[in-house]
Structure 1
Amino acid sequence: MARQDELRQDVPHAEHARSAADGRTRDAVARLLLEQGPTTAGVLAETLRLSGPGVRRHLDALVAEGSVVTRDARQAAGRKRGRPARQFLLTASGRARAGRGEDGPAELAVAALRRLREAAGEDAVKGFARDRALAMVGEHREHVLAGADRAERATRLAGALTAEGYAATTRGAGEGDGLDARVAGEQLCQHHCPVADVAAEFPALCEAEAEVFAELLGTHVQRLATIARGDAACTTHVPAQRSDQHTGSTTPAVTTGGGPENQGRQVV
């Protein structure tokens, strides 16, 4: 009888341990989605060394709680038609879960910027946004500028942004992405934005970032998407460097629009 009582007491402890382990695994899944952006279940399982059914169980739980949504993966150029793979990506609440402790008091920041705008005007907000963007990459500036060409600079800039909490990556962009070959280049993707909630009301924060990126890369850039506007990542297109161009030889022009009217449009 005493043994049965001990077993009954062990059940809640075992359930609690299992629940805690599930929570840690789901945090790991969310963190990987934050770092890599939209990802398939197969890639998640391989990276985290989980079984396919195991990772799908955790993904189903994250979808049910509203931390993750799914979409069809983009088909690569020349790929045979068929059922597209499913990708999983974080929602706003999922990014908050994955980046816990990094977002800061957004409400206070919004209130402070509103007060700044009321007291000193929109130019003061833009000045603050630029100072913040410069400070964000300031200590990485020389490292980025030391890149041999524009593509390497973009890669170094992604590393600098990751060090600042933006989980950034680069990937080549071209005709396979539905783009004109003339505007091939790099896409700089920031999978996390610590100030997304603030930038939703103050897009000058996003615009200032793009301006600083253009100055570092020595070319115009275009914001294709932003987390602040509900996209999965902040995506900035960096045009390829032609052989007759020299990085930094001209004053860069910047296109920052990321709204629906600008999605998929490139500047050449």
Structure 2
Amino acid sequence: MAADTTRDRVLGLIASAGPITAATLAAELGVTPAGVRRHLTALAESGFITEHEPPGTHVRGRGRPAKSYVATTDGQNSLTTAYSAVAVDAVSFMRSQGNLDEFVETKLAQLEAGLRASMPEGATMSERVEALSRALADQGYATSVRPGPGGYTVQLCQGHCPVQSIAESAPEWCEAETRAFSRVLDVHVQRLSTLAGGAHVCTTTIPVSPVTVKEG
């Protein structure tokens, strides 16, 4: 049972923080490197994780960066979800009845209200994004926040989505969710990728400071 629990924690961290190396997993979870490698092997054999290949051409050999891992679709689906296939059938039914948009907007309004309540008073944008990430985690999302290039943006990453099966059937959900994030933070955000669209993580870029343009 303990092994299964640790394996779930390994998979959960890969889903929320991947691409992530074995060394980082061991440090974050307080597990020995050998123990992490055993879990990584088992998860890979189950098809729940895969080695992440960064874009571009890379030379293998000495000096090669350490392997990093991401969760596969099967791995994401194996994580606990609050929605069943019945919910997907309900989405199809509502679409056929012409009231899917109303359902999506109603559910996202409820999510938005909860997220808005978590926003700290007088906080910086970076602090607001961190609060948003924690609030989403409380809702069952596996979230992390990463710095963007240049320090002007951050990326809100969701490695697991409790409504992924619904979002796959109704892309309107992801679109409404993005609008909700924008309203909660009171800033334009850009959704770069989604789990429902086949990516290993949902990624939303959020500006945290204005870009200063030098004159002359």
What TM-score results when the alignment is normalised by the length of structure 2?
Answer: 0.85
CA contact (8 A) 2:12 2:142 kept: no
Give the counterpart letter for 1:210 in structure 2: T
How many residue pairs align between the two structures? 207
Confirm whether residue 37 of structure 1 aligns to residue 43 of structure 2. Answer: no
**Post-superposition offset of 1:64:** 0.7
- Map Cα deviations across residues 157-198 of structure 1 (whole Å, 9 max, x no partner): 1111011111212122014xxxxx8xx311111121011122
Whole-angstrom CA distance in 2 between matches of 1:145 and 1:218: 13
- Map Cα deviations across residues 81-133 of structure 1 (whole Å, 9 max, x no partner): 94122111211221233x22x2421x21221121112112xxx3222212212
What TM-score results when the alignment is normalised by the length of structure 1?
Answer: 0.70
What is the correspondence of 1:155-234 to structure 2 with a 5 Å cutoff? Answer: 155-175=130-150, 184-234=152-202
RMSD over aligned CA atoms reads 2.4
Query: Relative to structure 1, is the Cα distance of residues 69 and 147 closer, same or farther in structure 2, using a 3 angstrom cutoff?
Result: farther
**Post-superposition offset of 1:137:** 3.2
What is residue 119 of structure 2 aligned with on the other side?
Answer: 144
**Post-superposition offset of 1:201:** 2.0
**Post-superposition offset of 1:27:** 2.0
Whole-angstrom CA distance in 1 between matches of 2:189 and 2:122: 17
Fraction of identical pairs, as percent: 36
Whole-angstrom CA distance in 2 between matches of 1:74 and 1:144: 36
Uncovered stretches (5+) of structure 2, i.e. residues with no partner: 57-61
What is residue 236 of structure 1 aligned with on the other side?
Answer: 204
What is residue 86 of structure 2 aligned with on the other side?
Answer: 108
**Post-superposition offset of 1:202:** 0.7
Whole-angstrom CA distance in 2 between matches of 1:50 and 1:145: 34
Whole-angstrom CA distance in 2 between matches of 1:74 and 1:46: 26
**Partner SS, residue 228 of structure 1:** coil
Whole-angstrom CA distance in 2 between matches of 1:74 and 1:152: 31
**RCO comparison, higher one (Cα < 8 Å, 6+):** 2
